[in-house]
């Protein structure tokens, strides 16, 4: 299962967003998931992640991970806006 995560950082506190990411991205591996690709625009207003999960259950386990949920206020304080889109490789 591939997901494209897009982040609008135009109004974000980049330091808070980076702190959040540094804490949550390592949790992916615990759920059999992988960050396949991560890029940010040169002006720091947009970031994209390509995430791979074994299946919906693995994704749900990651989303519901208590450690990740405890960090959610940090993401909210960052001011970043996120969207997830299921994608397929071509």
What is the CATH classification number for the domain harbouring 75? 3.30.70.100
What's the rounded mean pLDDT across residues 46-60? 97
CA 78 to chain centre: 13
Range of the domain at 81: 2-87
Which whole-number Å values give the CA distances from 13 to 32, 37, 52, in the listed order? 30, 22, 27
Q: What is the structure's pLDDT at 23?
A: 97
Measure the CA–CA gap between 48 and 62, rounded to whole angstroms.
18
Q: What is the pTM of this model?
A: 0.92
Average of per-residue pLDDT across 13-17: 97
Domain count, the chain: 1
């Amino acid at each position: 299962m591939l997901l494209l995560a897009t982040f609008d950082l135009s109004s974000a506190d980049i330091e808070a967003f980076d702190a959040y990411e540094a804490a949550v991205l390592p949790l992916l591996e615990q759920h059999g998931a992988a960050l396949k690709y991560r890029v940010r625009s040169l002006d720091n207003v947009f970031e994209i992640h390509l995430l791979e999960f074994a299946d919906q259950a693995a994704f749900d386990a990651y989303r519901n991970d208590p450690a990740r949920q405890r960090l959610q206020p940090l993401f909210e304080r960052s001011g970043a806006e996120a969207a997830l889109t299921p994608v397929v490789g071509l």
